[in-house]
Amino acid sequence: MTAFLVILVIVLFGVSVWQMNRIFQLAKTKPSGHSEIASDKDNNTQGYLMLGFLAFIYILTIVSFWLWYDTLLPESGSEHGSDIDNLMLISMILIFFVGIITQAVLHYFAFIYRGNKVKRATFYADNDKLEFIWTIIPVIVLAGLIIYGLFTWTDIMNVDKDDDPLIVELYAQQFNWKARYGGNDNTLGNANVRLIKGINQLGVDPADPNGQDDKIVTELHLPVGRKVLIKMRSQDVLHSAYMPHFRAQMNCVPGMITQFAFTPTVTTEEMRQNDYIVEKVANINAIRKNKSEELVAKGEEPLETYEFDYFVLCNKICGISHYNMQMKIIVESEEDYKAWLAEQPTLGEQLSKETK
């Protein structure tokens, strides 16, 4: 890898020197008939190429939408997800609308005003009215988007104590996730990475009574319809808790606690019945089946059948195994959630066993 980088630097340096030499050569005074001065034929060629490139990017955009329109996320599994999707939709509509018009005007002008020995450019100092128009319109549009985004973000991040949110800690470390529940009192005990020892992998303060009934798990279970306040910590480097199906993401920063709240509205089983998910799972399993046949022919183990699950992923490049840093999320009924939580041992019980 080091040798490749050295070679790359040498090549880039050589290209830079060559480009600088070209600039110096072009800066020198040349006779009017010199081959490096663009002729009408050159200008016409470049003008038509601009129109060709405009057609190319339009066709590429249409083909991309046609081929990969179904690679977007399905409907959101959280209460606030529709607000995020609407904000995204409005932003993309504006971006494409402005982009399509801007690219058309840019390439058309490059064609229609291409160089010509007969034509001469008209000196046009300024136009205050025109400059006001093309300045105030982007200001109004961007201000509207920013204000809409701020209201959306405030609604998402505003956690009311009257909502009685379920408090869960999401703990990140290279390269896995752990979750900590506050037990029956829904109160997490104090924790510090300096207290990590043995089975106490999250550094929960054993002297804090609130930490004795904490429950540490490697699979996140959430009750449907109840607001969840997720508090996040990182043990080592910067991670990012990304839950795409809930339209939720927040950085996990070493030395501080960040948080994000949302209300799951679709259980795992319900999402598995979603038409989009059913079709996507079928496509994935068809690919896996073909791959499994190749593996079996080589005497290797076939791939397992894929089944949809919610996941929390790391969305920051945190190291060599970043790609595989994920944890399953199960959204279920309140009854199933309570039954599962009751089966999990408390930290106090685990510490007692460790000291025996």
Quick one: pLDDT at residue 22?
A: 77
3-state SS, residue 42: helix
Give the whole-angstrom CA distance, residue 257 versus residue 124: 57
Q: How many CB atoms lie within 10 A of CB 87?
A: 17
Q: Is the pLDDT of residue 329 over 70?
A: yes
Q: How many CB atoms lie within 10 A of CB 243?
A: 24
Give the whole-angstrom CA distance, residue 72 versus residue 280: 11
pTM above 0.85, yes or no: no
Distances 112 to 41, 56, 107, 109, 134 between C-alpha atoms, Å: 14, 18, 9, 5, 22
For residue 342, which of 253, 217, 252 has the smallest C-alpha distance? Answer: 217
Radius of gyration of the chain from its Cα atoms, rounded to whole angstroms: 29
Quick one: pLDDT at residue 186?
A: 87
pLDDT tens-place string over residues 145-183: 999 989 888 888 888 777 789 999 999 998 899 999 988
Quickly state the pLDDT bin for 120 (edges 50, 70, 90).
confident
Quick one: pLDDT at residue 106?
A: 93
Quick one: pLDDT at residue 354?
A: 65
For residue 158, which of 267, 251, 79, 225 has the smallest C-alpha distance? Answer: 79
Q: How many CB atoms lie within 10 A of CB 100?
A: 13
Quick one: pLDDT at residue 129?
A: 86
In the chain, pLDDT over 70 holds for what percent of residues? 96
247 against 161, higher pLDDT: 247
Q: Is the pLDDT of residue 15 over 90?
A: no
Q: Is 268 exposed, middle or buried (0-12, 13-18, 19+ CB in 10 A)?
A: buried
3-state SS, residue 30: coil
Quick one: tokens of 225? 């319809």
Quick one: pLDDT at residue 130?
A: 86
Quick one: pLDDT at residue 23?
A: 77
Using an 8 Å Cβ cutoff, are 189 and 204 in contact? yes
Q: Is the pLDDT of residue 355 over 80?
A: no
DSSP assignments along 265-303, one per residue: -S-HHHHHT-HHHHHHHHHHHHHHHHHHHHHHHTTPPPP
Q: What are the two backbone dihedrals, phi and then psi, of residue 201, each rounded to the nearest 5 degrees? A: -75, -15
Give the whole-angstrom CA distance, residue 289 versus residue 17: 53
In the chain, pLDDT over 90 holds for what percent of residues? 45
pLDDT tens-place string over residues 249-296: 999 999 899 999 999 999 999 999 999 999 999 999 999 999 998 888
DSSP assignments along 254-271, one per residue: BTS-EEEEE-B-S-HHHH
Give the whole-angstrom CA distance, residue 107 versus residue 110: 5
Q: Compute the residue count for the chain.
A: 356
When the pLDDT of each residue in the chain is averaged and rounded to a whole number, the result is 87
262 against 8, higher pLDDT: 262
Write down the domain spans for the chain: 164-270+305-346
The DSSP element (H or E) to which 311 belongs, if any, is strand 310-314
CATH class of the domain comprising 164-270+305-346: mainly beta
* Strand ranges for 164-279 from DSSP E: 166-173, 176-181, 215-217, 220-223, 228-234, 239-243, 248-252, 258-262
Edge-to-edge order in the sheet of strand 228-234 = 215-217, 176-181, 166-173, 228-234, 258-262
The DSSP element (H or E) to which 310 belongs, if any, is strand 310-314
Quick one: pLDDT at residue 30?
A: 56
Q: Is the pLDDT of residue 196 over 90?
A: no
Quick one: pLDDT at residue 107?
A: 93
pLDDT tens-place string over residues 18-49: 888 777 777 665 555 556 677 878 888 999 99
Q: Is the pLDDT of residue 326 over 90?
A: yes
- Cβ contacts of 207 within 8 Å, gap of 6 or more: none
Taking the mean position of all CA atoms in its chain, how far away is CA 49?
A: 35
Quick one: tokens of 166? 């379920």
Quick one: pLDDT at residue 299?
A: 85
Pairing of strands 310-314, 326-332: antiparallel
Residue identified by tokens 């195994």 is 321
